[in-house]
């Protein structure tokens, strides 16, 4: 593949299949001297872990991470940090029937034709299980961004199928398994999910992620813009079909007099830009939204073909998330963290000596 | 910057400022033996060229391209192809007043703080003028994809501000300066644009690009997915704030039974995936939509600050597109072409020897 | 670091410290469909393994490799192949005394100042132990090159300290622990090594590696020439201080009429080029020589300084190779294999469609 | 090719053929704020220029460089710097006879089989003319290294064929066209070259390059070691067949007690390491030697084949350097500068925050 490394200076190389012995990654380029232990990473992994409620897959994985290298006496050394997560609950027999069949909406058909061989067990390499690795690597990035630059990266589920959940407070997010920013919506969401599960169907979702505290200057135009790299990172997550920065698709109908964020000595008066101008962070909140498609594995029978090209009906009975979006918030946060740390490092490589007299304005004006 | 190269095997390295002596690029990795002349590239450049109607910027640039290397006796040699476009109409004095001021919605503020120095003339490096280079490089990619794999890449303006223009036919696109796929909308669009220009304001737009004829197998998961690279490439275009693949944000409210495209021996029954599953092309049309923000340069006065951090009012009188989306279709096509050729090359590097008995289905079922 | 990945399409990302829990790597980009098992890799690892004779380090490591991913039902899938080797004999206490001292000729001083933290146990990341990883990854590359292109990669110790050992036959190499190509030299070498070990000193060596059967066309000028990449790969091996291609430094005194290899329809008449012209393989044997410095860890006391900058005497009593060159042949072979597979893949990406009528000459004329 | 970019953060992308309209490059990643004009670059180009004495090629090229971008009001902006050199003296007819023939020692045969097409005029892309581009890019790097870190990069011709020229002083180098460090050798060299030219033959050479003043810490192990990158960069120069760091191949016969450089509070007592330990600069002089093969273009007739595979005799009458080494010193310096600036930037990306109490020793002890 050779497409399994992300980042230019903070590089994450991912490996592992859903039902192989292990998944993991190598994080290369982490600055030395940062305190790091398995516990720092485990906390993030637990947020994404399967089996935590009836609304997500019942696969049982403790997702216990082991640091194999790059940490000495509790601190990063600057050497590559290898992270290993052994797979535990590999009920491969559940997947025997999919060896010969291409499931609609899955990567079965494309992997088969691309590689001529396919580890079909649980989706193999194309499984969302790989996203645990991203969360683990992202935890390292998050910690460094927080400690070195005070950057805080958080996300929430802003829409589940037809139910939009507006932002109320970050405190709410941590207290519910849907990652919604207004916990009062939880009963409505549970009711919706129960009906959905019963119907054997699945549904899409929308996630919003926000980085607060990033300084002016991250991003490398004209191609490696911060928004371009966020576009790449988010779209690389399984099931993501759309990415927006700031006003996103609302920009289409906006006028210039409405969209362009005015500057004052006290800060920007709005943030339609989503914290990025000309591909470079402005000091405002960096805001991205992603669209997550409905899970393709559903009980409702669907038309497909098998490896001989013959028509078949496919119905998936395994353990699946009826809405993958529910567990996706930590993944989106991780991807944003990975993009930001890479650009923090790239920025200081070239621009470490830049000194500007002009005062920086303090992000957005508080309202 | 070191962020000015795009692609891993078909690499485009861009250079040049809006009002410097020239813009251009080096295209490295083009397969040898393809017929190529300046005329092949000029045709695409002319589609993006300024000054072609009253609805776009009146800057006069012939955008004449010169091939400096990599072509011998009319054929590519496999060596880097350098493309040069001299700037002609550099009315820098128009921009004198912006040297000290940060225009809202522009990259002025971020460039200044990032680099400590800023070529303010016409936006310098952050100007949309750089997109001519992308179109030139994209023309090379497009030609190769067409000749080698029969891939056809086309786009159209699917929405201008509030006016959605549905797809009628590709023939219509070529016959109007708005690039809309239903030419009957042109009078309505002209009327809208005339009023907009008069008001001194600007507006956003939406572009749709489609690649037809790409085979199954392009894309390198898990990070360098075809959709991730499209996300990156599109978001790297000036003014783009959102990217969708296939159903995009509509996926959020879709059920799995609706979204997942069924397969039959005659082809896929729908294309919500936008031609990509698991990050790999399916053989269906590859479909992307992008949101383009309204031009930030408007006559309506807006709040901003100057280099001393003091409040100022900014009104832009120069020559600007009131809707940059109108000229953006060729750019979006070029970016899609650049992503596809890179992945065509990457795919055959690793998978040249793959042989699969399973029949490939013929893209989508014709309706 | 972010300098721990080698290769552009066949990418090896290495991790691990000498006395950490494990070393290993991720091999990304291996073509799918190749039979691969741990046994294929173990054979190569055993050739490099410590403790096989009294002339090498007595550290006891079985160097047992585990394949964690990328192989399904005995075949590579195109997904990343993670290889894990647990460290077993971590007698860290031997190294307690070096925590505070910079050993002459070692990386202690440079790591300390670069990273501000140093895993001193056995050299940590700078230990030659990491080369086991290269041999493991190289085994995958070697196998593919052999099976797909018939390329055979072999090496031998061509000089140990003052003793030059001319090439007699490849059969000899496999039958002695010095990897010399004339086994009749073994008694002389053993005698030399016994005296050396007794003296508490160490000595340098020279290795020659040869790839036979590579076709014309591998290498990507003008920078990523095949010889440039070999220069990089060889020089990246611990203790290597020089690299030659073909005639190497003998070229300095050669005349053009002597050096330039003449072509005939029956093949090249000589191979001073070492199988590479203009950075591209010629179809002849690819030949490289490397100089390996004497081990820095010796019993003879030497001047140095400690972390406080004070003068100290250092004498190393641990388990060390008195001539690291003795075990370096498999490493040099691995590095050559890794360069060649990467270029084999890169070549076919760009040039898969090239068809030339001119007959290829059969490498060198047999003498 | 996609092998025409060098560097990871300070990236040089080269283009152009010997007898095409122009050669040039894009330098991406130069820090902003450095004063830069064409004159800064021209000085270095003039040192490498052809036609300056009877001992080098008589091709007449003024090698005038034009800066197309990345510089504003005399200072670098952080945007890509495009450098253009128009070819002037393209006497292509001299080369008509080589269109059908593969010259021994040249890249003709390999380019033909790799690409299926070949710009034969003057060697096309494989011509040493491309090295002017490296010198131009290197001039930018050199200037920055000097101004920012006080690093001085210089080289000299240490051997011309059989004549070794020891180092006497840097002052001597600048005062003779052979770049030897003891000008008293010039008459002997001239006599040797006159005889050589008369004989219609050519000869090899050895160049030594030295960087003084680099701090401890540059280099990114375990693969992107400073010495590995120097190995790559030097070996990428046309005609280079060998690279040594410090003691180089002399290390083969050295004992550990001789080779390992002792440390004292006053500095290192020797520099066999060539200023690099564990792939990281030590603060001592960084020293590399390269072997340059004899020019392949000679008047003496030699055996070869033509494009039909038939035997022919080849004798080259064009304008050629009988010893390419004579003009190679500025090229080697440029390559060293390009490696160092890239690692200076990479180092501060990751390690900008490292603080170490241990005093740094002042390079080598002065003798």
pLDDT at B92 over 60: no
**Cβ pair A236, A329 in contact under 8 A:** no
Report the C-alpha gap between B245 and B260 in whole angstroms. Answer: 14
Residue among B48, B83, B1 at smallest CA distance from A222 = B1
Q: How confident is the model at residue C49 (pLDDT cuts 50, 70, 90)?
A: confident
Report the C-alpha gap between B261 and A108 in whole angstroms. Answer: 13
Quick check: is B367 in a domain? Answer: no
pLDDT at A306 over 60: yes
Quick check: is D356 in a domain? Answer: no
Quick check: is A367 in a domain? Answer: no
pLDDT at B93: 60
C90 touches chain A (CB under 8 A): no
pLDDT at A1 over 60: no
Residue among C296, C199, C284, C279 at smallest CA distance from C239 = C296
Measured in angstroms, the CA of B315 and the nearest CA of chain A are apart by 11
Reported ipTM exceeds the 0.95 cut: yes
Residue among D242, A119, D288, A16 at smallest CA distance from C228 = D242
Q: Do D3 and B116 touch (CB under 8 A)?
A: no
> In sequence order, which residues have a C-beta less than 8 Å from that of residue A93 and are 6 or more positions away?
none
pLDDT at C134 over 60: yes
Residues in chain D where the model's pLDDT stays below 70? 1, 90-96, 318-319, 366-367
The size of chain B, in residues, is 367
Report the C-alpha gap between C69 and A151 in whole angstroms. Answer: 34
A35 touches chain C (CB under 8 A): no
Residue of C99 and C291 predicted with greater confidence? C291
Measured in angstroms, the CA of A349 and the nearest CA of chain D are apart by 4
- Report whether B48 belongs to an annotated binding site: yes
- Report whether A294 belongs to an annotated binding site: yes
Q: How confident is the model at residue C42 (pLDDT cuts 50, 70, 90)?
A: very high
**Cβ pair C349, B345 in contact under 8 A:** yes
Q: What percent of chain A has pLDDT over 90?
A: 86
Which residue of chain B is at minimal alpha-carbon distance from A284? B110
Q: What percent of chain B has pLDDT over 90?
A: 86
Residue numbers in the known binding site of C for FMN are 125-127, 238-239, 278, 293-297, 319
Average pLDDT (C196-215) is: 97
Neighbours of C195 (CB within 10 A): 10
Report the C-alpha gap between B105 and B295 in whole angstroms. Answer: 8
Report the C-alpha gap between C259 and D35 in whole angstroms. Answer: 45
Q: Do B354 and C148 touch (CB under 8 A)?
A: no
Neighbours of chain C (3+ CB pairs under 8 A): A, B, D
C91 touches chain D (CB under 8 A): no
Token pair 């529910």 in the structure block, residue: A326
Q: DSSP letter string over B135-168?
A: HHHHHHHHHHHHHHH--EEEEEEEEETTEE----
CATH of the domain at A62: 3.60.150.10
pLDDT at D96: 59
Report the C-alpha gap between A158 and A328 in whole angstroms. Answer: 12
Torsion, CA A124, CA A126, CA A128, CA A129, rounded to 10: 30
- Asked whether the CA dihedral C168, C173, C177, C180 is positive or negative, the reply is positive
Report the C-alpha gap between D104 and A209 in whole angstroms. Answer: 62
Residue numbers in the known binding site of D are 48, 54, 125-127, 238-239, 278, 293-297, 319
Which tens digit of pLDDT belongs to each residue from C324-362?
A: 999 999 999 999 999 999 999 999 999 999 999 888 898
Distance set, CA B89 to CA B44, B56, B129, D135 (Å)? 20, 15, 12, 33
C346 touches chain B (CB under 8 A): yes
pLDDT at A42 over 70: yes
Q: How confident is the model at residue C7 (pLDDT cuts 50, 70, 90)?
A: very high
Report the C-alpha gap between D206 and D155 in whole angstroms. Answer: 11
Which chain C residues contact residue D363 at CB under 8 A?
none
Quick check: is A255 in a domain? Answer: yes
Residue among D161, B256, D355 at smallest CA distance from A161 = B256
- Report whether B301 belongs to an annotated binding site: no
Report the C-alpha gap between D89 and D87 in whole angstroms. Answer: 6
Quick check: is A219 in a domain? Answer: yes
Quick check: is D358 in a domain? Answer: no
Neighbours of B356 (CB within 10 A): 15
Which residue of chain A is at minimal alpha-carbon distance from D342? A349
Report the C-alpha gap between B151 and D87 in whole angstroms. Answer: 37
Report the C-alpha gap between D174 and D169 in whole angstroms. Answer: 10
Instruction: Give the A window 302-331 contacts with C, CB below 8 Å.
Output: none
Torsion, CA A310, CA A311, CA A315, CA A318, rounded to 10: 10
Distance set, CA A236 to CA A130, B9, B200, B345 (Å)? 11, 19, 40, 20
Secondary structure (H, E, C), A62-109? CCCEEECCCEECCEECCCCEEEEEECCCCCHHHHHHHCCECCCCCCHH
| Structural domain count of chain D | 1
pLDDT at A92 over 60: no
> In sequence order, which residues have a C-beta less than 8 Å from that of residue A119 and are 6 or more positions away?
A17, A19, A20, A125, C72, C77, C79
Least confident of B316-320, C280-284, C304-308, D16-20: B316-320
pLDDT at B6 over 80: yes
Report the C-alpha gap between A170 and A211 in whole angstroms. Answer: 12
pLDDT at D51: 72
Q: How confident is the model at residue C94 (pLDDT cuts 50, 70, 90)?
A: low
Q: How confident is the model at residue B48 (pLDDT cuts 50, 70, 90)?
A: confident
**Cβ pair A99, A314 in contact under 8 A:** no
Residue numbers of the domain that contains D145 = 5-351
A116 touches chain B (CB under 8 A): yes
Distance set, CA D102 to CA A75, C74, C272, C366 (Å)? 58, 45, 17, 21
Of the candidates D15, D29, D66, which has its C-beta nearest B68's C-beta? D15
Distance set, CA B10 to CA A9, B239, D49, D314 (Å)? 21, 25, 32, 36
Quick check: is D228 in a domain? Answer: yes
Q: DSSP letter string over B244-312?
A: EETTGGGGGG-BHHHHSPPEETTEES--TTTTEETTEE-SS-EEEEEEEPPPS--SS-EEEEBTTS-EE
Which chain D residues contact residue C116 at CB under 8 A?
351, 354-356
Which tens digit of pLDDT belongs to each residue from B313-340?
A: 999 876 678 999 999 999 999 999 999 9
Least confident of C234-238, C277-281, D315-319: D315-319
pLDDT at B244 over 80: yes
**Cβ pair D356, C116 in contact under 8 A:** yes
In degrees and rounded to multiples of 5, residue B186 shows phi and psi of: -55, -45
pLDDT at C358: 87
Neighbours of C171 (CB within 10 A): 9
Quick check: is A359 in a domain? Answer: no
Packing angle, helices A329-351 and D329-351, rounded to 10: 130
pLDDT at A95 over 70: no
Secondary structure (3-state) at C93: helix
Neighbours of D92 (CB within 10 A): 12
- Report whether B126 belongs to an annotated binding site: yes
Which chain A residues contact residue C117 at CB under 8 A?
32-33, 72, 75-78
Measured in angstroms, the CA of A5 and the nearest CA of chain B are apart by 7
Packing angle, helices D329-351 and D38-48, rounded to 10: 140
Q: Note the pTM of the prediction, 2 decimals.
A: 0.97
pLDDT at D58: 74
Q: DSSP letter string over D146-171?
A: HHHH--EEEEEEEEETTEE-----HH
Q: Do B348 and C346 touch (CB under 8 A)?
A: no
D278 touches chain A (CB under 8 A): no
Specify which residues C356 forms β-bridges with.
Answer: none
Helices (H) and strands (E) in chain D, counts: 8, 18
Specify which residues C71 forms β-bridges with.
Answer: C76
Category of A279 on φ-ψ map: left (φ > 0), alpha (ψ -120 to 50) or beta: left
Report the C-alpha gap between D260 and D157 in whole angstroms. Answer: 27
Token pair 């994985």 in the structure block, residue: A61
Specify which residues A212 forms β-bridges with.
Answer: A152
Residue among B358, B238, B216, B359 at smallest CA distance from B282 = B216
Measured in angstroms, the CA of A26 and the nearest CA of chain B are apart by 14
Q: Do D78 and B1 touch (CB under 8 A)?
A: yes
Specify which residues B242 forms β-bridges with.
Answer: A244, B291
pLDDT at C95: 59
Residue among C88, C179, C182, C142 at smallest CA distance from C344 = C142
Neighbours of A96 (CB within 10 A): 10
């Amino acid at each position: 593949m050779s497409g399994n490394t992300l980042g230019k200076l903070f590089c994450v190389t991912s490996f592992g299949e859903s039902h192989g012995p292990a998944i993991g990654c190598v994080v290369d380029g982490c600055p030395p001297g940062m305190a790091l232990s398995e516990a720092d990473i485990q906390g993030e992994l637990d947020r994404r872990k399967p089996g935590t409620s009836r609304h997500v897959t019942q696969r049982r994985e403790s997702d216990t991470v082991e640091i194999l290298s790059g940490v000495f006496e509790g601190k990063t050394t600057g050497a590559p940090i290898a992270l290993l997560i052994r797979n535990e609950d590999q009920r491969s027999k559940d997947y025997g029937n999919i060896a010969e069949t291409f499931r609609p909406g899955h990567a079965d058909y494309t992997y088969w034709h691309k590689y001529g061989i396919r580890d079909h067990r649980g989706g193999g390499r194309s499984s969302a299980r790989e996203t645990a690795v991203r969360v683990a690597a992202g935890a390292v990035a998050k910690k460094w961004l927080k400690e070195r630059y005070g950057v805080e990266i958080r996300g929430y589920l802003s829409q589940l199928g037809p139910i939009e959940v507006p932002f109320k407070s970050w405190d709410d997010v941590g207290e519910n398994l849907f990652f919604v920013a207004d916990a009062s919506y939880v009963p409505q969401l549970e009711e919706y999910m129960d009906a959905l599960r019963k119907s054997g169907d699945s549904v899409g979702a929308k996630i919003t992620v926000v980085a607060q505290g990033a300084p002016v200057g991250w991003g490398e135009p004209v191609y490696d813009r911060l928004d371009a790299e966020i576009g790449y990172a988010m779209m690389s997550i399984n099931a993501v079909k759309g990415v927006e920065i700031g006003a996103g698709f609302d920009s289409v109908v906006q006028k210039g007099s409405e969209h362009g964020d005015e500057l004052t000595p006290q800060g920007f008066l709005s943030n339609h830009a989503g914290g990025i101008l000309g591909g470079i962070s402005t000091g405002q909140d960096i805001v991205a939204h992603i669209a997550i498609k409905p899970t393709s594995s559903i009980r409702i029978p669907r038309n497909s073909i098998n490896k001989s090209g013959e028509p078949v009906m496919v119905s998936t009975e395994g353990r699946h998330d009826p809405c993958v979006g529910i567990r996706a918030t930590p993944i989106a946060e991780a991807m944003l963290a990975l993009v930001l740390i890479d650009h923090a490092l790239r920025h200081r490589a070239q621009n470490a000596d830049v000194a500007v007299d002009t005062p920086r304005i303090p992000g957005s004006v508080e309202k």
